[in-house]
Amino acid sequence: MKNKSLISSFFRIYATSHLQGIPKDYSWLKLLLLAMVLPVSGIFSQVETKISTVENFDKIKVSKDYRVILVADQSFTVTIEGLRKDIEKVKFGVKNGELSFGRKGLFGTKRKVFIYVGVDSISSIRAKDDAVVESSGTIHSKGNLNLRSSNDARIYVQTDAYRVLTDSGFYSSILVKLIAENIKSDSVYDPKTRKISQSLVVENK
């Protein structure tokens, strides 16, 4: 945050020092230039982090263009990084064991929002509307792992699940890396036929 404050201060000092030489008759020009420069400095100062703890879950649903990173630390925490106004638009909660992410209001975010989620065991991941869900390290699954993406969503996970079932819709893709004691295999599923729905089953043997 210290670096962001320095950048913000630089914009303000730069604007003030360079506008001093403008004649009084052109005071309207000063106001116009300040209106253009100061909002730029505000972009840096508004970047924030919000941390919350949620109840236990084993399923995840992301229905907006967020980037969600799954971290296998069993903390059940949700850490959101982005502009203050964008963070305030993120709606999330747990219902019936599923952690879902959506958006408040009709308008989208100005910049990409990053969400880090501390998980334990995951049985289902659903993503749509340009969402990206990826794992940092290996995500544990007690049995089957169901992955479903649609509307330009992307899912990239590394898992120790015994069985992975995927369903990828129009323009969407899923990348699965299976990790087990005696097998390491990659399976890439990115439909190019533009069919509405296709499916793939991958098993650790």
Mean pLDDT of the chain: 75
Let me know whether 38 and 117 are in one domain. Answer: no
Let me know whether 18 and 89 are in one domain. Answer: no
Q: Who wins on pLDDT, 158 or 19? A: 158
Let me know whether 68 and 144 are in one domain. Answer: yes
pLDDT at residue 27, as a whole number = 52
Angle (deg, nearest 10), helices 27-45 and 2-19: 170
Residue 122 has pLDDT above 70, yes or no: yes
Instruction: Report the number of distinct structural domains present in the chain.
Output: 2
Residue 185 has pLDDT above 60, yes or no: no
> Percentage of the chain surpassing pLDDT 90?
40
Residue 120 has pLDDT above 80, yes or no: yes
Let me know whether 149 and 55 are in one domain. Answer: yes
pLDDT at residue 50, as a whole number = 95
pLDDT tens-digit series, residues 56-102: 999 999 998 899 999 999 999 999 999 988 999 999 999 999 999 99
Let me know whether 7 and 86 are in one domain. Answer: no
- Beta carbons of 70 and 139 less than 8 angstroms apart: yes
Let me know whether 178 and 78 are in one domain. Answer: yes
Let me know whether 39 and 54 are in one domain. Answer: no
Let me know whether 192 and 108 are in one domain. Answer: yes
Q: Rank 30-34, 170-174, 195-199 by mean pLDDT and report only the highest.
A: 170-174
List the CATH number of the domain containing 189. Answer: 2.160.20.120
Let me know whether 32 and 90 are in one domain. Answer: no
The domain in which residue 12 lies consists of: 2-45
CA 43 → CA 15, 33, 135, 186, distances in Å?
A: 15, 16, 29, 40
Let me know whether 28 and 52 are in one domain. Answer: no
Q: How far from the centroid of its chain's Cα atoms is residue 67's Cα?
A: 2
